[in-house]
Amino acid sequence: MTQTLICPSPLGSGVSSSMETLSLTKQSHFRLRLPTPLHIRRGGSHGYPPPFISASAAPRRETDPKKRVVITGMGLVSVFGTDVDVYYDRLLAGESGVGTIDRFDASMFPTRFGGQIRRFTSEGYIDGKNDRRLDDYLRYCLVSGKKAIESAGFDLHNITNKIDKERAGILVGSGMGGLKVFSDGVQSLIEKGYRKITPFFIPYIIPNMGSALLGIDLGFMGPNYSIATACATSSYCIYSAANHIRQGDADLMVAGGTEAPIIPIGLGGFVACRALSTRNDDPQTASRPWDKGRDGFVMGEGAGILVLESLEHAMKRDAPILAEYLGGAVNCDAYHMTDPRADGLGVSTCIESSLEDAGVAAEEVNYINAHATSTPTGDLAEIRAIKNVFRNTSEIKINATKSMIGHCLGASGGLEAIATVKAITTGWLHPTINQFNPEPSIDFDTVAKKKKQHEVNVAISNSFGFGGHNSVLVFSAFKP
């Protein structure tokens, strides 16, 4: 039995008819003819669904091997070094990489610690002459990008003979760009005049130069640019890179973020924002996501980069497939320059859109790598948003990578995406450390203090940035 109801259209001039037809069956399924919202990207031609949307239809994952996106390589520079396995092992051990800053004299600052990278070397990846000139954000980008390419099964000296270089692209962003080169240039101008500004000043401060230099070194001629959305940068880049593959613009994309902000002006700027913890007496416990005693985030630095490929391309070259990128989303709170919406609306909408893009039902998600910066308002706003989407949280485990490496700003999403993929491939979740007095509203399993074994079904990784920029990535184990 089918009943047809005629109702006035609430959609205004964007609909050709002022009446819409609603068909009901005794199973309570319905089909409503509506214009397709642009943010929905599953099914239909050009990535959009057909004009009828069924409320009873199950989410559909991509099946076309040209549009399925897989992760085949990962590379990083972190406070735990440049080896992905070592990085994750130390996360699993619950080790803090935070300590007193010794790169410069920070004794006059109210915050004197951070996730500072020490003993970094670019040997074998950047020639000595260029290495001395580059800002650290560029050095981190080049090393992590090339390590990612190596882990994807390529020989750095013979890459373009193995793939179509015009269909290989790079999308690595930075929230801050060449901060040290900029600071040094301003100081030279003030103290010595414009003639003492290095000719590399402009090229090395602009955020797109990481992608550009990596493209030059690798010979990749496909889509190449950067995105700067503060602390959401890496995830925006990964999302956009995956879409280039889905749209047929590229077979392979190198994507992520890089950041090197631990210099006097970087530290001083965030101190002025009143964003940083001042727990100088115990730096390793300063990053306390979801703990009542949290007093701000801990600045970190580094780079995290993924190699994304179409499934078809990866299988043709017999690439190592680590996990599958199912989908993602980006949006904006449109609320405040630095504060998140207290109700988490922008974030919850972004999570819902990411699941829709991935063809995933909320019930399938059982692991969240949270943004969780250890700020008083941000941590709770994210939790509210998650609860708005996932009505039953009993099966979901959630953890905070930043509790151990600090907040690496534009690089954080890349480093956390790597941690998410490692959780999928190893079956182990790293702990959230420094959980001394948890907020009572955090009724999730936050993997407090000690790693846990967990078979990840579907994982999401959250990243949010100043300006209200939100990004969510969805990953799962690869299943042919």
Cα distance between residue 16 and residue 18, in whole Å: 7
Cα distance between residue 246 and residue 242, in whole Å: 6
> Tokens 């600045």 — which residue?
299
SS3 (DSSP) at 150: helix
* Partners of 71 in the β-ladder: 308, 323
Closest of 412, 434, 325, 430 to residue 367, by C-alpha: 430
Active-site residue 371, yes or no?
A: yes
Judging by beta carbons within 10 Å of its beta carbon (0-12, 13-18, 19+), is residue 189 exposed, middle or buried?
middle
Cα distance between residue 63 and residue 69, in whole Å: 10
Closest of 443, 432, 418, 331 to residue 373, by C-alpha: 432
Cα distance between residue 96 and residue 405, in whole Å: 6
> Tokens 């000719």 — which residue?
199
Token pair for residue 336? 């405040």
SS3 (DSSP) at 169: strand
Helix (H) or strand (E) holding 209: helix 209-218
Token pair for residue 381? 């706003």
How many residues does the structure list for the chain?
A: 480
Angle at CA of residue 258, ends 253 and 263, nearest 5°: 170
- The beta strand positions in 246-334, using DSSP E, are 252-259, 302-310, 323-332
Q: Among 141, 313, 350, 371, which one carries the catalytic annotation? A: 371
Cα distance between residue 143 and residue 38, in whole Å: 38
SS3 (DSSP) at 362: helix
Cα distance between residue 146 and residue 479, in whole Å: 27
Closest of 172, 275, 179, 175 to residue 229, by C-alpha: 175
Q: Among 407, 430, 454, 469, which one carries the catalytic annotation? A: 407
Return the active site residues.
231, 371, 407
